[in-house]
Structure 1
């Protein structure tokens, strides 16, 4: 009764932008969005962590998800 049905996120587009995607909540959100089949633009400051997160997403997602990274310093 208090739980509403999940939204189809693809209604809003096929890409999602995740800021702070290398650790914590941002990384968890990126993994969850990828599991829903959304392509991701990951934004972070550390290129090594961005590469690691990108590899994690590609390994853990069953869908063909495209992942791009943007380094901001």
Structure 2
């Protein structure tokens, strides 16, 4: 489990961090969970901020503004 948790954490970080070698498997797993939750929370907050910003525009301009900002990914 230790090797897997450390490898998963480094994969999540995207870079080798020497300090990870000092952590136990349980600590790596906990830190990985925190990083994943933080990324998920950040994604939710970003979507809310975008929706709030677009909500300030007149409704006729919201669709075109979204297409300009996000292209085909606008949904």
Normalised to the residue count of structure 1, the TM-score between the two structures is: 0.30
Normalised to the residue count of structure 2, the TM-score between the two structures is: 0.30
Query: Does 1 or 2 have the higher relative contact order (CA < 8 Å, sep 6+)?
Result: 1
Larger Rg: 2
